[in-house]
Amino acid sequence: MTRRTEHGLRGLYLVTPDEADDTRLVAQVEAALRGGPALLQYRNKLLPAERRHTQAAAVLALCRAAGVPLVVNDSVDLALAIGADGVHLGRDDGDPAAARARLGTGRILGVSCYDEWARAEAGARAGADYVAFGAMFASPTKPAAVRAPLELLGRARRELGVAVAAIGGITVDNAPQLVAAGADLLAVISDVFAAADPAARATAYGQAFRAGPVPAARPQ
Ligand X SMILES: Cc1nc(C(=O)O)sc1CCOP(=O)(O)O
Ligand Y SMILES: Cc1ncc(COP(=O)(O)OP(=O)(O)O)c(N)n1
Q: Which of 31, 188, 202, 204 binds ligand X (CB under 6 A)?
A: 188
Kindly write out the interface string for residues 112-131 of this chain, putting x where it contacts ligand Y by CB under 6 A and - elsewhere. Answer: x-------------------
**Gap between the Cα atoms of 44 and 20, Å rounded:** 8
**What is the SS3 string spanning 24-39?**
HHHHHHHHHHCCCCCE
CB of residue 169 to ligand X, shortest distance in Å: 5
In this structure, the strands spanning 11-15 and 130-134 are unpaired
- The answer to whether 201 and 173 are in contact (CB under 8 A) is no
Of the candidates 133, 130, 131, the one whose C-alpha atom is nearest the C-alpha of residue 150 is 133
Query: Which partner in ligand Y, ligand X, Mg ion, none is near 155 (CB below 5 to 8 A by kind)?
Result: none
Question: Which CB atom, from 119 or from 218, has the smaller least distance to ligand Y?
Answer: 119
Kindly write out the interface string for residues 93-112 of this chain, putting x where it contacts ligand X by CB under 6 A and - elsewhere. Answer: -------------------x
Whether 189 has a binding-site annotation, put simply, is yes
Whether 142 has a binding-site annotation, put simply, is yes
CA distances, 214 to each of 10, 161, 164 (Å):
12, 16, 15
**Gap between the Cα atoms of 178 and 27, Å rounded:** 29
**Gap between the Cα atoms of 58 and 11, Å rounded:** 23
Q: Which of 74, 85, 129, 184 binds Mg ion (CB under 5 A)?
A: 74
Query: Which partner in ligand Y, Mg ion, ligand X, none is near 165 (CB below 5 to 8 A by kind)?
Result: ligand Y
Query: Which partner in ligand X, ligand Y, Mg ion, none is near 169 (CB below 5 to 8 A by kind)?
Result: ligand X
Using the 8-state DSSP alphabet, how is residue 152 labeled?
Answer: H
Whether 139 has a binding-site annotation, put simply, is yes
**Gap between the Cα atoms of 123 and 128, Å rounded:** 5
Q: Which of 11, 35, 169, 198 binds ligand X (CB under 6 A)?
A: 169
Based on its alpha-carbon atoms, the radius of gyration of the chain, rounded to whole angstroms, reads: 16
Q: Which residues are known to be catalytic?
A: 43, 112, 142
Question: Which CB atom, from 85 or from 191, has the smaller least distance to ligand X?
Answer: 191
CB of residue 217 to ligand X, shortest distance in Å: 28
**Gap between the Cα atoms of 114 and 9, Å rounded:** 19
Residues in contact with ligand Y by the rule CB under 6 A: 13, 15, 41, 43, 45, 73-74, 88, 90, 93, 110, 112, 132, 134, 165, 167, 187
Task: Write out the residues near ligand X by the rule CB under 6 A.
Answer: 112, 114, 134-135, 139-142, 145, 167-170, 188-191
Binding residues for Mg(2+): 74, 93
